[in-house]
Amino acid sequence: MDKKRFIELWERCAKSRVDAHAIDVFNRLQEFYKEDHRFYHTSQHVQHCLNQVDLAEDELTDADAVELAIWFHDVIYDPQASDNEWQSTEWFRQCADGILSSELIAQVVRLILVTQHKNPPDKDDEKFTVDVDLSGFALPWDEFIEESDAVRNEFSHRSDKDYAQRQIPFLQSLLNRDSIYSTTFFQMRYESMARKNITRKIQILENMLN
């Protein structure tokens, strides 16, 4: 994880210089993303997302808010929990209270919560945040499968059949959208490859049901 990048972001968004606090927040972030039960939701995923933010930076209304959401959106992650995003927002609030403006905190909380991917986002910054988080679906096939296997490893407590029954509806819901990606920027770059990857992955999962 890029410590210098995070500290510069945190201090850029803070109401005053907070070197020690920024370092402490980064160190705790790093500890969370190194937890033993994580295989996909790690610092590598965060870095992949930050790379996508960099690609789309000129398209973003508030790149700092989007980047903060990316750093924190998976900080709390329990594969057996259903409220990880909400828990992540609460941890972010604790770190940001009294340091970042209330308006920015509320904006980042909103952006973290849209990464639940329950419904297509409406606002531009939400669209970019969701598209960044979903960009891994458009990786080259071998890399996509490697990430898919990492996700599967986080759910080792489930049987193959149970895992497939839960995963297929989510993947199918992405294919059922007019577009997986909500922004023209990501549609142009990734839509075609993501659809091909997801379609092939659903076929693999369906075979697990037999």
77 within 8 A of 145, measured Cβ to Cβ: no
Among residues 140, 129, 142, the alpha carbon closest in space to that of 71 is found at: 129
Q: What is the per-residue pLDDT for 18?
A: 75
* 14 φ, ψ (degrees, to nearest 5): -75, 160
Domains and CATH numbers, the chain: 3-208 (1.10.1300.10)
Show contacts of 61-67: CB within 8 Å, 24+ apart. 61/124, 61/125, 62/107, 62/125, 64/9, 64/12, 64/13, 64/104, 65/104, 65/107, 65/108, 65/111, 65/125, 66/111, 66/125, 66/128, 66/129, 66/132, 67/9
Q: What is the per-residue pLDDT for 51?
A: 98
The structure tokens listed for 95 are: 């770190």
Per-residue confidence in pLDDT tens, the chain, 210 aa:
999 999 999 999 997 777 889 999 999 999 999 999 999 999 999 999 999 999 999 999 999 999 999 999 999 999 999 999 999 999 999 999 999 999 999 999 999 999 998 887 889 999 999 999 999 999 999 999 999 999 999 999 999 999 999 999 999 999 999 999 999 999 999 999 999 999 999 999 999 887
